[in-house]
């Protein structure tokens, strides 16, 4: 079948937007202190490799962490991996998780000649895309060279389905470049079909985020007992602290923001609230008077979760739709999540609302449940046990994904 290119209109728009992409790359590289970010987006890695590679792409930290167990399994099978991300934080996560065992990289700007150069300088035999990374030009340049593309945890949001006609048409064409869609559930499958994915290319395998280490051993970073607000977004921190009841004022609250770059803004918020806090990136110690510990570093979230009395998941008290609940569940954590759940409904159903996880309607109910669990530690422990048990039943999903990928290797 002859592949259609993304089209003249998209290529013209991409070219016109090139200055904005360059400005973004300069700004992002400077903000993240990643001097090579702009060069990477323009030409990819300096390396030219003729070794057959499996190219894996994940947008940022969350997707990178989710696909990591699969990549470890492929490395153990002897596959050479090129692992790219869109963000500097995703790139650093790849480096931290794999060291020299994979080639880390940054995805190129979606311009025809830049993408073509990125593909030409390597001998890629398979492309694995994590979730929603549908870059039209890059996928076209990949597919036209006969490289199969498999989308992992393939999904589309309702917002994408309601996108303007031009974007809808472009995505419809882009999805034709993909060889196989491995989806989480029937809802994902129907959304993909609605946007034009061929039914025969879609397989329901389950949520790849369930494929995680169920028996990790993470060091204790903080000696005091603490509550953890994990992956929080703007205003969620102040919302939680503003409603803190007097009964828990002496209990340490650890805040691990979704984007550590918000650290300075968060420090200013905490100062305005008159809260005694310490900041991890500044190597400030925790003393008996510390009320809040700002864990504004990367790569330590699981260790923080593992030893928390209760984990309150961020992104669920705003319009984000929640964040991955599988990680804290696999660690046996007592988990509370808020009303915003568009991204995590399957996780909540898996764990069992009220038995393996508590979902609350607002921040007041959140604190009421925190107080109850603190006063009933056996209930908190049972909540974590049920969550761990539910996730354990899905541990074989990694093998399912590997079996689907195997024919393309």
238 and 107 in a common domain: no
Token reading at 329: 């569940």
Q: Tell me how far the alpha carbon of residue 53 is from its chain's centroid.
A: 23
pLDDT digits (tens, 9 = 90+) for 275-302: 999 999 999 999 999 999 999 988 899 9
Q: What's phi and psi for 85, nearest 5 deg?
A: -140, 165
Query: What share of the chain in percent tops pLDDT 90?
Result: 60
38-62 burial code (b ≥16 CB/10 A, e <16): bebbbebbeeeeeeebbbbbbbbbb
> Where does the pLDDT of residue 214 fall: very low under 50, low under 70, confident under 90, or very high at 90 and above?
low
Taking alpha carbons only, the member of 328, 117, 370, 331 closest to residue 214 is 331
CATH code at position 70: 3.40.50.11720
231 and 320 in a common domain: yes
80 and 49 in a common domain: yes
Taking alpha carbons only, the member of 193, 118, 108 closest to residue 154 is 193
212-250 burial code (b ≥16 CB/10 A, e <16): beeeeeeeebbeeebbbbbbbbeebbbbbbeebeeeeee
Say whether pLDDT at 47 is over 70: no
234 and 173 in a common domain: no
- Report pLDDT for 19: 93
Taking alpha carbons only, the member of 359, 355, 353, 350 closest to residue 391 is 350
Residue 144's H or E segment, with its range, is none
Say whether pLDDT at 161 is over 90: no
Most confident of 3-12, 53-62, 219-228: 219-228
Q: How many CA atoms lie within 13 A of 122 on its CB side?
A: 26
Say whether pLDDT at 3 is over 90: no
* Residues 32 and 88 sit within 8 Å (Cβ to Cβ): yes
Query: Domain containing 60: what range?
Result: 8-207+397-408
- Distance CA(328)–CA(195), nearest Å, equals 33
Q: Tell me how far the alpha carbon of residue 102 is from its chain's centroid.
A: 19
pLDDT digits (tens, 9 = 90+) for 299-352: 899 999 999 999 999 999 999 999 989 889 989 999 999 999 988 888 898 888
Taking alpha carbons only, the member of 172, 185, 180, 333 closest to residue 256 is 333
- State the chain's mean pLDDT as an integer: 90
Residue 218 lies in a domain: no
Taking alpha carbons only, the member of 69, 90, 57 closest to residue 178 is 57
* Residues 289 and 276 sit within 8 Å (Cβ to Cβ): yes
312: three-class secondary structure by DSSP:
strand
State the maximum Cα–Cα separation within the chain, in Å, rounded to a whole number: 68
Count structural domains, the chain.
2
269 and 202 in a common domain: no
Residue 3 lies in a domain: no
Q: What's phi and psi for 258, nearest 5 deg?
A: -55, -40
Say whether pLDDT at 157 is over 60: yes
269 and 195 in a common domain: no
92 and 26 in a common domain: yes
Q: What does the pLDDT average to over 67-74?
A: 92
pLDDT digits (tens, 9 = 90+) for 166-203: 787 888 888 889 999 999 888 889 888 888 888 999 99
* Residues 333 and 389 sit within 8 Å (Cβ to Cβ): no
Taking alpha carbons only, the member of 17, 11, 9 closest to residue 140 is 11
Stronger pLDDT, 308 or 100, i.e. the higher one: 308
401 and 377 in a common domain: no
Residue 365 lies in a domain: yes
CATH code at position 368: 3.40.50.2000
Say whether pLDDT at 274 is over 60: yes
237 and 200 in a common domain: no
Residue 212 lies in a domain: no
- DSSP conformation letters of 243-300: T--GGGTTSEEEEEESSGGGHHHHHHHHHHTT--EEEGGGTPPP-TT--EEE---SS-
- Report pLDDT for 44: 59
- Distance CA(150)–CA(246), nearest Å, equals 52
243 and 194 in a common domain: no
Q: What does the pLDDT average to over 129-145?
A: 91
Task: Calculate the dihedral angle through the C-alpha atoms of 237, 240, 241, 246, rounding to the nearest 10 degrees.
Answer: -160
Residue 1 lies in a domain: no
- Distance CA(33)–CA(377), nearest Å, equals 43
129 and 66 in a common domain: yes
379 and 401 in a common domain: no
Residue 213 lies in a domain: no
Residue 215 lies in a domain: no
Say whether pLDDT at 358 is over 90: yes
1-17 burial code (b ≥16 CB/10 A, e <16): eeeeebeeebbeebeee
56: three-class secondary structure by DSSP:
strand
Most confident of 161-170, 221-230, 242-251: 221-230
Residue 138's H or E segment, with its range, is helix 136-143
Query: What share of the chain in percent tops pLDDT 70?
Result: 96
List 85's β-bridge partners, or say none: 58, 106
Residue 256 lies in a domain: yes
Say whether pLDDT at 249 is over 70: yes
How many residues does this entry show for the chain? Answer: 409
Say whether pLDDT at 131 is over 90: no
């Amino acid at each position: 079948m002859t592949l259609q290119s993304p089209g003249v209109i998209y290529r013209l728009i991409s070219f016109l937007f090139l200055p904005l992409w360059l400005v973004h790359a300069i700004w992002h590289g400077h903000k993240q202190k990643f001097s090579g970010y702009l060069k990477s987006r323009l030409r990819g890695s300096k390396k030219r490799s003729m070794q057959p590679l499996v190219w894996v792409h994940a947008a940022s930290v969350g997707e990178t962490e989710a696909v990591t167990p699969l990549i470890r399994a492929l490395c153990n099978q002897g596959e050479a991996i090129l692992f790219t991300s869109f963000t500097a934080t995703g790139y650093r996560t790849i480096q931290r998780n794999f060291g020299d065992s994979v080639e880390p990289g940054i995805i190129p700007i979606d311009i025809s000649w830049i993408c073509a150069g990125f593909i030409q300088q390597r001998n890629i035999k398979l492309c694995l895309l994590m979730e929603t990374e549908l870059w039209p030009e890059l996928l076209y340049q990949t597919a036209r060279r006969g490289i199969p593309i498999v989308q992992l945890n393939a999904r589309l949001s309702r917002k994408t389905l309601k996108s303007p006609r031009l974007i809808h048409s472009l995505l419809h064409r882009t999805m034709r470049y993909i060889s196989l869609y491995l989806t989480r559930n029937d809802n994902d499958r129907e959304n993909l079909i609605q946007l034009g994915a061929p039914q025969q290319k879609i397989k329901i395998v389950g949520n790849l985020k369930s494929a995680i280490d169920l028996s990790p051993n993470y060091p204790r970073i903080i000696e005091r007992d603490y509550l953890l607000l994990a992956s929080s977004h703007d205003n969620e921190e102040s919302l939680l602290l503003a409603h803190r009841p007097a009964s828990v004022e002496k209990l340490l609250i650890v805040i691990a923001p979704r984007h550590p770059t918000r650290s300075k803004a968060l420090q200013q918020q905490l100062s305005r609230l008159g809260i005694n806090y310490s900041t991890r990136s500044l190597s400030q110690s925790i003393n008996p008077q510390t009320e809040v510990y700002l864990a504004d570093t990367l790569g330590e979230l699981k260790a923080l979760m593992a030893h928390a009395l209760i984990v309150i998941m961020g992104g669920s008290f705003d319009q984000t739709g929640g964040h991955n609940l599988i990680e804290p569940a696999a660690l046996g954590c007592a988990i509370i999540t808020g009303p915003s759940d568009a991204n995590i409904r399957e996780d909540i159903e898996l764990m069992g609302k009220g038995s393996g996880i508590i979902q609350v309607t607002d921040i007041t109910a959140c604190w009421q449940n925190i107080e109850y669990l603190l006063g009933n530690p056996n209930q908190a422990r049972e909540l974590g046990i049920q969550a761990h048990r539910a996730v354990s039943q899905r541990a074989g999903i990694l093998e399912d994904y590997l079996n689907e990928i195997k024919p393309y290797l």
